[in-house]
């Protein structure tokens, strides 16, 4: 029996579960909840997170915790519109917000 009290899980399993739950919602709900929902991008991010956890020998304490980013913070390649139709045609962010990199 292991003496490690931590719960271990893969980010890809968590991501797949959240994607499946979102896809099970009635038509139109995902669009009302999220400005952008890209299942392939979510899975790529989860795979990258799992690789980082593996490279760090399982020492990343928040590994695989799912988050949804508020549309107020720049994320590279994504338009930051703050939920405003006036800002939806802005150019995508050219870099991540500083806190996003942590």
Query: Which pLDDT does position 102 carry in this prediction?
Result: 62
13 in the same domain as 43: yes
Residue 55, domain member (yes or no): yes
58 in the same domain as 82: no
CA dihedral (63, 66, 72, 75) in degrees, to 10, reads: 60
Query: Which pLDDT does position 54 carry in this prediction?
Result: 86
| Tens digit of pLDDT at every position of the chain (102 positions) | 567 676 678 899 999 999 999 999 999 999 888 888 999 999 999 999 899 888 887 777 777 788 877 788 888 888 888 888 888 899 999 998 887 666
Residue 2, domain member (yes or no): no
Query: Which pLDDT does position 46 carry in this prediction?
Result: 92
Q: Give the other-Cβ count within 10 Å of 60's Cβ.
A: 14
**Total tally of structural domains belonging to the chain:** 2
Residue 1, domain member (yes or no): no
80 in the same domain as 59: no
Which residues span the domain enclosing 58?
9-64
Residue 3, domain member (yes or no): no
77 in the same domain as 38: no
Residue 4, domain member (yes or no): no
30 in the same domain as 56: yes
Query: Which pLDDT does position 61 carry in this prediction?
Result: 79
């Amino acid at each position: 029996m292991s003496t490690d009290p931590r719960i271990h899980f893969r980010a890809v399993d968590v991501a797949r579960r959240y994607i499946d739950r979102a896809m099970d919602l009635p038509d139109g709900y995902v669009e009302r909840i999220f400005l952008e929902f890209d299942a392939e991008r979510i899975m790529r991010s989860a795979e990258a997170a799992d690789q980082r956890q593996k490279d760090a020998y399982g020492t990343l304490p928040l590994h695989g915790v799912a988050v949804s980013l508020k549309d107020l913070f720049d994320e590279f390649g994504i338009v930051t519109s703050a939920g405003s139709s006036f800002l939806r045609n802005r150019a995508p962010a050219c870099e991540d917000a500083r806190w996003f990199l942590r």
